[in-house]
Structure 1
C-alpha cells in the first residue's frame, strides 16, 4: 500500500498532541453527569468509561479521516509478455508467366498467394505490407497489423494486375524499400518472389536496388518460384490449351540481391518446397521485444473514510441516548 498524498500524514502530529493533552487533563474534565445511586465500587469505572469513550471514538475517527485524506492506494502491476516482431514487405511477381502450371494443381500465382497467406497467419505482432509488380511496381497494402485487410488484398492479387508486361524486379525492390525504410522496427525485411528475370523498369539492375536496401538495414529474402526446364503454360486457345515455356529465372541475380543485404536465396520447384521456404523465413526472422509493465492503482480511502463516518454517527447516537446520563 502507498499514499498518493503522503504529506497529509503530517496532520497526525496535532492529533497525537491532542491525545496526550486530553489524557493529562482527563481527571479535570467532567461531563454533565448526574449523581447516581450506583454503588461506589462501580461508579468510578462507569464515570471513566462515559467520560473518555466518546473522546477516543472521535480521536480514532479523526485518525482514519487523515489516512483517507492521504489517499491510500494498492499497486496492481500488469505485464505484457515479451513478443516477437519485425516489419515485413511481401513483394510478389504478377507478370503473365506466373500462371505457369508447374505447381500443379496450382499455378505459380495461386501457390505464391496461398503460401503468403499461410505465412501471414503464423505471424504475430508484425507489421506486414504488400508490393505487387509486373512491368511496374505498385504498393498494394502498406505495413499493417490488420492481417484480415492484408489477406483481402492478397485474395484480389491476380496475374497482370499492374497492366504492364515484363518483370521489373529492381523497381519492385525500390518500391518496397521506400515503404519500409522509415520503420523504427529493429528488423526490416523484404520477401521477394518472382519466376523470371528483370527485363524492364527504371532500375534495370536489381543489385543496385539491393544496395539501396542495405543502406537502410533492410534484409531481402529472394524466392525463385519456377521448375527448372520447361513448364506448362495455358494459352487460352481451345485447340491448343497449353504450351511449354522455358524457365527464365535468373538465379545469379536473385542470389546476389540476397547476399548484398544479408538475406538468403531459395528456389521452389513445387508447392511443398515453397511452403518450407516460408516456414524457414518465419523461423529466421523473429526479434524479441522486452516485456512492458503497466502499473495501476486502486484507491483504498473508502476503507478509512467509511469507518470514520460510522464512528462519528455512533458517538452522536450514544451521546443522545446511553451517554445522556450516568446510570
Structure 2
C-alpha cells in the first residue's frame, strides 16, 4: 500500500482531542446535575435520557472523521504487476563550465546555449540512461547515471562557472571522469557528448580519447562559440563590471577551438557538430542515436497503484448521515437489554 498525501495523517491527532472534549462535557453535565439536585431524582425526571446513545454518537463521529482523513491521505493499493523492459544506451553529458563559457558570441552566452542544447536533446531521448559531468580546470561529477530526466534537468539548470574552483579547460579530465560512469562489463552502448568551446589548457586530451575508445566509448563533440572569438564579461547583478584579463593585464579573447574538438571525436569514431545551430545539433544527435545499437539494460517490476480514497469518503459520509438519526433518548429494544444497567 502507498499513501499519496502522508501530511494529512497529522489530522488524526484531532480524534483524541474530540474524546477529551466529550469526557469533559460529560463531566460538566454530571457536575451541573449534582448542583441541580439528587442524581437519582434527575434521572427520574428525564427517563428517556440514554447513557448509551451519546457514546454511540461519539464512536460514529470518530469513525467518520477517521474516514475523511484517510480519504485525504488517499491510500493506493497495487492491483497489477507488470514487467517493464528498457532498451537504450548510456549517455554522459560533459559540460564545460570554465569562465570562457561566459563569452557572449553565442546568445545569450556559451554556457546558457549549452544548457539549452542538452535540454533539447533530453526531450528526444527515449529509455536511455544519462549522467552529467561538469569540468573546467578539473572535472566534477554532477549527476550519476539515471533514467530520471526531470532530475537531470534540475541539475542542468543549476550549473554555473562557480561550481568548479580550478579554472581553465581540462578536456582530458572530463573524458577520464566520464568514462568512470560506464560499466566496463556491460554491453550497453556508451556515448559521451562533450560540449565546449574547445580551449584546452591541459595536455593529453587525445590520449584520454584513445583510452575511451578502448573502453568502447564513442564521443560526440559540440563546439559552442565562434572562431572569431569574444571577450569574457564579468557581471554583478546582471551588469558588466569588467572583462576577464590575463597575467599581462590584457583583455582575454576566447575563441572556439574547432580542430581540438574534431580530433577528440575522430579518435573514437565519433563526430563533431556546430553547437551554434540548435536544429543541426538535434538532427545530428538523432541520426547518431538511430544508428547506435540499443541493448536491454533494465527489467523492473512496477506496481500499478490505484487510489482508494473514494471508499473511505463514502464510509465517512454514510456514518455522518446515520448520525443525524441517532437521538440521545433511549431506544426501546436497547432499553429492554439494559446494557448499562440504566433501569433500577
Structure 2: gaps (5+ residues) = 1-81, 245-250, 302-344
Give the aligned partner of residue 96 of structure 1: 99
1:285: Cα distance to partner?
4.1
1:232: Cα distance to partner?
4.9
Q: Is the 8 A contact 2:233 2:242 kept in 1?
A: yes
**Matched pairs, number:** 213
1:239: Cα distance to partner?
7.7
- Does residue 1:120 correspond to 2:122, yes or no? yes
Q: Is the 8 A contact 2:232 2:254 kept in 1?
A: no
Q: Is the 8 A contact 1:198 1:205 kept in 2?
A: no
Q: Is the 8 A contact 2:226 2:256 kept in 1?
A: no
Q: Is the 8 A contact 2:229 2:255 kept in 1?
A: no
Which structure: larger Rg? 1
- Distance in 2, Cα, partners of 1:137 & 1:239: 28
Give the aligned partner of residue 131 of structure 1: 133
Q: Is the 8 A contact 2:100 2:254 kept in 1?
A: no
* Higher mean C-alpha deviation, range 251-260 or range 275-284: 275-284
1:122: Cα distance to partner?
1.9
Match of 1:91, SS state, is strand
Give the aligned partner of residue 253 of structure 1: 260
Would the alpha carbon gap of residues 166 and 184 (structure 1) be closer, same or farther in structure 2, given more than 3 Å must change? same
Give the aligned partner of residue 86 of structure 1: 89
Would the alpha carbon gap of residues 232 and 281 (structure 1) be closer, same or farther in structure 2, given more than 3 Å must change? farther
Give the aligned partner of residue 167 of structure 1: 169
Give the aligned partner of residue 179 of structure 2: 177
Would the alpha carbon gap of residues 116 and 185 (structure 1) be closer, same or farther in structure 2, given more than 3 Å must change? farther
- Does residue 1:268 correspond to 2:271, yes or no? no
Output one character per residue of 1:35-93: Cα deviation in whole Å (capped at 9) or x when no partner: xxxxxxxxxxxxxxxxxxxxxxxxxxxxxxxxxxxxxxxxxxx8968x65100011000
Give the aligned partner of residue 142 of structure 2: 140
- Distance in 1, Cα, partners of 2:96 & 2:220: 14
TM-score between both structures, scaled by the size of structure 2: 0.54
Give the aligned partner of residue 156 of structure 2: 154
Would the alpha carbon gap of residues 109 and 284 (structure 1) be closer, same or farther in structure 2, given more than 3 Å must change? farther
Would the alpha carbon gap of residues 94 and 79 (structure 1) be closer, same or farther in structure 2, given more than 3 Å must change? closer
- Does residue 1:194 correspond to 2:193, yes or no? no
- Distance in 2, Cα, partners of 1:208 & 1:239: 39
- Distance in 2, Cα, partners of 1:280 & 1:258: 16
Output one character per residue of 1:160-192: Cα deviation in whole Å (capped at 9) or x when no partner: 311111001001000001221436243101000
1:230: Cα distance to partner?
2.5
- Distance in 1, Cα, partners of 2:255 & 2:185: 34
Structure 1: gaps (5+ residues) = 1-77, 295-327
1:268: Cα distance to partner?
2.6
Output one character per residue of 1:291-327: Cα deviation in whole Å (capped at 9) or x when no partner: x9x9xxxxxxxxxxxxxxxxxxxxxxxxxxxxxxxxx
Q: CA RMSD in A?
A: 3.2
Give the aligned partner of residue 208 of structure 1: 207
Give the aligned partner of residue 227 of structure 2: 228
Give the aligned partner of residue 6 of structure 2: none
Match of 1:140, SS state, is strand
1:219: Cα distance to partner?
0.6
